[in-house]
Amino acid sequence: MTTIISSKRSFFFPEIVATCLIAVVAIGAVPLVGSDYLMDAVLTPFLALALAAVGLNLLTGYAGQVSLGSAAFLAVGAYAAYNFSLRLPALPLLLDLVLAGTIAAAVGIMFGLPSLRLRGFYLAVSTLAAQFFVQWALTKFGWFSNDNPSGVIDAPVLRIGSVTFTSAAGRYLFSLGVVTVATLLTLRLLRSQTGRNFIAVRDHEVAAKVIGVPVLRTKLLAFGLSSFLIGVAGVLWAFAYLRTVEPAGFNLDRSFQILFIIIIGGLASLRGAFVGAAFIVVFPLLLSRVGAALLGSLFDSGVLEMSQRIVIGTLIITFLIAEPRGLIALWDRGWARLRAASGKAIET
């Protein structure tokens, strides 16, 4: 009995230290030391994509419902928040954020209705409807973009009370705060009965039904909560990262990008969503640096994009075959091996 307790403690201890370390670095060191480029072009999009991936992971990784409409829910969140801030300027920003997420959740539940009858590949195809419909609606109806001819919206100034977040560091910290809170709440949800219901519906729908899990409600809840998180991520994407967005920016490629994040990072793992998002954001930057260094001017943007697609495509196939649990599984295994090695070193 004592061995179990002590092993548990020694297992959690480094995790707590690691978490605190990340927090100190993320909140304290990065805004002080990091360049605007780092925060603007790397960290803020990383945070927004990570939150979107957390949302999609909730739906696909945990509840087992495939969706190809993530970019649509990003767009709904972004445009909803824009309209709330435009038409109801009295509302505080954080409330805009929650309301935008709620609108995205409502749209998500609507497009989640086919999940009650469809599964797997067929469901994925039906979620494409969300992708095309939302993009079309945002372009077609000028109301959504305050009658901008090409549907472009400009982000309002991020402001909570009297504090504004306009600098690169400010927008980064704002995103960090939102993503941290949303992720912690998601983590708590996943550890509750609702989270177990998600996995039960994913692993064996009939058994879940027999046990008394409200299967239909659970599926729709997964769509709603997932879309909520993706909608909030869309607000960050539009307000904190790009600051000027158009409907065309939320195309199918973006949906696939988020799907790839959770496949590469690891299905049914929140940490996987972050690792995958980091990879997707950092990898093209690394590739362009390395490519330029090796090939010089031969490595232009066309070649960059092509090689990027080739490598990511290959990686996805490799992961699906060799390690469906993604980068995070590799990480965990390496970590376990390291710990075993260090444990031995201490013993001897």
Partner 1 sequence: MSRITAEARVLRLEDVAPDDGLRAVSEGRGDVPARGVERAAANDARRVLGLANISLAFGGVTALRDVSLDVAEGEIRAIIGPNGAGKSSLLNVVSGLYQPDRGQIRFGEHAFRRVPTAKLAAHGVARTFQNLALFKGLSVFDNVLMGLAHRVSAGFLRQIVGSPHARRIDAENRAAVEEVVSFLHLSDVRERIAGTLPYGLQKRVELARALVARPRLLLLDEPFAGVTLSEKQELSEHVRNARDRFGTTILLIEHDIGLVMGLSDRVAVLDYGRKIADGTPDQVRADQTVIDAYLGVAHEDETELAT
Q: Are strands 244-245 and 159-160 parallel, antiparallel or unpaired?
A: unpaired
Told to check if 192 binds partner 1 by CB under 8 A, we report: yes
Contact between 93 and 162 under an 8 Å Cβ cutoff? The reply is no
The one-letter code for the residue type at 61 is G
| 214 contacts partner 1 (rule: CB under 8 A) | yes
Q: Interface with partner 1 includes 213 (CB under 8 A)?
A: yes
Binding mask 223-242 for partner 1 (x = CB under 8 A): --x-----------------
Question: Any idea which residue has 């990003």 for tokens?
Answer: 74
- Whether the CB-CB separation of 158 and 166 falls below 8 Å is answered with yes
Which of 115, 175, 197, 227 binds partner 1 (CB under 8 A)? It is 197
Q: Identify which of 85, 46, 95, 67 has the alpha carbon closest to the alpha carbon of residue 225.
A: 67
Q: Looking at 162-170, 209-217, 239-247, 248-256, which segment touches partner 1 (CB under 8 A)?
A: 209-217
CA–CA separation, 322 and 326 (whole Å): 9
Per rule CB under 8 A, is residue 261 in the interface with partner 1?
A: no
Considering beta carbons, is residue 63 or 281 the nearer one to partner 1? 63
Residue 118 touching partner 1 (CB under 8 A): no
Residue 84: both structure tokens together: 């709330």
Smallest gap from residue 228 Cβ to partner 1 (A):
11
Q: Is 211 in the site for partner 1 (CB under 8 A)?
A: yes
Shortest gap between Cβ of 299 and partner 1 (angstroms)? 43
Does residue 204 touch partner 1 according to CB under 8 A? yes
68: nearest Cα among 162, 10, 133, 7 = 133
Among candidates 188, 197, 226, 217, which has minimal Cα distance to 105? 226
Binding residues vs partner 1 (CB under 8 A): 185, 188-189, 192-194, 196-197, 199-200, 202-204, 206-215, 221, 225, 268
